Amino acid sequence: MFQKLYDKALVWAKHRHAEKYLCALSFAESSFFPIPPDVMLAPMALAQPNKAFRLALLTTIFSILGGMLGYAIGFFMFDSISPWLQESRYWDKYLVAEKWFNDWGFWAVFIAGFSPIPYKVFTIAAGALNMLFIPFVLASLVGRGARFFLVAMLIAAGGEKLESKLRQYMDLIGWVVVGLVVIGGVVYKYLY
């Protein structure tokens, strides 16, 4: 199922309405859709390097708007979706998100926004756990913006060769960044 969705996203990246699809995918992925917008953003930035900044900006804006929908789902509808969530493959990830919120707050959203961790789980958890809305939006802006601008600018600058390497090592890069942020958070928590 996911391979078909992934292949479809690559086809959308070449369509004349690709920017609209990118915006829709960015919005949907932040609250319920399983395919990250990077799969469209990277080939689009590669094909049109002069539009990479614009594409990263659109991806960031619509991802944050989708994150706000995820927050609203968690805030207003968590009791309704909780039985479904418990039966889905996202329940364990939700429990991790809940623990991270208790331990890290703002930084949990930032990490989820930047890393390959499913951001949608954290948007719903942020609403369900009543995280303050403005810090949620700011953490999303920084985390998602850093991720999408990094992807778009590196792809635009490095071309096809970099895109294939980045794709090959995206999970590793994301987890290394998560590890560094967690280590930094631990050091900060115990030293200050």
Domain range summary for the chain, segments of one domain joined by +: 2-191
Residue 106 pLDDT: 83
Please tell me which residue, 49 or 162, carries the higher pLDDT value.
Answer: 49
Quick one: CA torsion of 51, 159, 165, 35, rounded to 10 degrees?
30
- pTM of structure: 0.75
Report pLDDT for 171.
Answer: 60
- Evaluate if residue 8 carries a pLDDT over 80: no
Q: For the chain, how big is the Rg over CA atoms in Å?
A: 16
pLDDT digit string, tens, across residues 128-178: 989 999 999 999 999 999 999 998 888 888 876 766 665 566 566 656 666
Q: Is the Cβ–Cβ distance between 114 and 143 less than 8 Å?
A: yes
**Which pLDDT score, from 0 to 100, does residue 166 have?**
55
Average pLDDT for 33-54:
84
Q: Give CA–CA dist 75/29, Å, rounded.
A: 18
- As a whole number, the mean pLDDT across the chain is 82
Looking at residue 2, its pLDDT comes to 45
Backbone angles phi, psi at 16, to 5 degrees: -65, -20
pLDDT digits (tens, 9 = 90+) for 10-36: 677 778 888 999 999 999 999 888 778
Specify which of 29-33, 58-62, 82-86 reaches the highest per-range mean pLDDT: 58-62
What is the band of 38 on the pLDDT scale with cuts at 50, 70, 90? confident
What b/e sequence results for 19-49 when a residue is b if at least 16 CB atoms lie within 10 Å of its CB, and e otherwise?
bebbbbbbbbbbbebebbbbbbbbbbbbeeb
The pLDDT of residue 1: 44
